[in-house]
Each structure stands twice: as C-alpha cells, then as structure tokens.
Amino acid sequence: MKKYYKIKENKIMCNHCKDVIQSLFVHDFKYCRCKSVYVDGGCLYLRRGYINDSSDYKELSVLEEANMNDYNIYGESDEFDCFIS
C-alpha cells in the first residue's frame, strides 16, 4: 500500500557551513550561507539542490504519516493538502 505523508517542516542542514535552511511555502527557495545546497517546495514537495551529491546536506524534514482516506487527491481538503508519495 502506498504511503502518504504530510510535510510538516521542509528543511535540511548544510554539511559545509552548518546552516539550517527551511522552505516555508511553495517557491520559498532558500540557499545556505555557502551556496552549496538549497531547499524549495514548502509543504508541497521536497526539492533539494546541491553541488556534489546528497551528502552535501543532512535531511531534517519532519513528515507526518497520513491516511489516504483522509484527503482528497485533488487537493480540495484544507487539512491534507501537502503530500509526497
């Protein structure tokens, strides 16, 4: 069965400069101080950018498991409008 998650906090820590950056809403595009990594997507999707590979950052996002029956796939529910699969 497919699992659905609500994104509570979309954030990472840069392993180079140790900045913690968080994307608060869609298109809230944040770079760390040294410009090695970025986050984007807010509570809608987890988008990451990096210079080398995913070892450039530590994942700190907070996800909450959600029940598919609790949400409308077309995003009409206010309560569960933020999922990744």
Q: Which region among 6-14, 45-53, 64-72, 77-85 touches Zn ion (by CB under 5 A)?
A: 6-14
Identify the residue among 10, 23, 36, 61 touching Zn ion (CB under 5 A). 36
Q: How far apart are CB 37 and Zn ion at their closest, in Å? A: 6
What string of DSSP letters covers 53-76? Answer: -GGGEEE--EEEEE-GGGS-TTS-
30 binds Zn ion (CB under 5 A): no
Identify the residue among 7, 14, 21, 44 touching Zn ion (CB under 5 A). 14
| φ and ψ at residue 76, rounded to 5 degrees | -85, -10
CA angle 2, 39, 71 (to 5 degrees): 30
Applying CB under 5 A, which residues contact Zn ion? 14, 16-17, 32, 34, 36
